[in-house]
Structure formats: structure tokens, C-alpha cells
């Protein structure tokens, strides 16, 4: 639920809430994943977006970078990201 008179849900959060943080969003090239990635970027996070289809990543990455934060677009499958995260966590 948003505050009365607030039409942008992201405006509910403090500006710069994720400044200096990095968000990883799978499916970040389009749809809900894209909206989530842009939301994190608008709140100051650098964003890693992943998608099976590289063509979906480039337009979203450009939009994120235009917001003044970093974006790394990674064409990959979700299971590869999860396996990589498990290896990093185990070391």
C-alpha cells in the first residue's frame, strides 16, 4: 500500500536507500524482473541483471546506467547463477 497522494511505489522508500549496494535480479531484462531492477537502480543500487536472452538485457542495462548507477548484464540461466553463488559462499 502506498501513502495517500503517492502514485510511484518506489517513492515510498528513502532516496538512496541502496546506495553502495549491489542487487542481483534474475529475469532482469523484461517484465517484473526489469521493473525490480529499475526500482533498485532508482534507489541507488548498482544492479546485475541476468537473462537467458541477451537481447533483453541491453535495453534495460542502458536504462539503469542512465539513472547514474552501474549495471552488469549477464546472459545466463538461473541455475548457473545459483551454483556460482553456492561456490562463492562455500569459500
* pLDDT given for residue 91 in this prediction: 45
Report CA-CA distances (Å) from 83 to 10, 21, 49, 62, 78: 31, 22, 16, 27, 9
Q: Which residues of the chain have pLDDT under 70?
A: 1-6, 78, 80-81, 83-91
The 10 Å Cβ neighbour count of residue 79 is: 8
Query: pLDDT tens-digit profile of 50-62?
Result: 988 899 999 999 9
Instruction: Report which DSSP code applies to 65.
Output: H
Radius of gyration of the chain (CA): 14
Q: Write down the mean pLDDT value for the chain.
A: 84
Q: Which residues pair with 24 in a beta bridge?
A: 48
Instruction: With beta carbons less than 8 A apart as the criterion, state whether 59 and 37 touch.
Output: no
Q: pTM score, two decimals? A: 0.77
Amino acid at each position: 500500500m502506498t501513502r495517500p497522494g503517492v502514485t510511484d511505489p518506489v517513492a515510498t522508500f528513502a532516496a538512496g536507500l541502496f546506495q553502495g549496494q549491489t542487487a542481483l535480479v534474475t529475469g532482469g531484462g523484461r517484465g517484473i524482473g526489469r521493473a525490480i531492477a529499475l526500482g533498485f537502480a532508482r534507489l541507488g543500487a548498482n544492479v546485475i541483471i541476468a537473462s537467458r536472452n541477451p537481447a533483453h538485457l541491453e535495453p534495460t542495462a542502458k536504462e539503469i546506467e542512465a539513472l547514474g548507477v552501474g549495471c552488469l548484464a549477464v546472459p545466463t540461466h538461473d541455475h548457473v547463477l545459483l551454483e556460482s553463488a553456492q561456490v562463492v559462499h562455500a569459500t
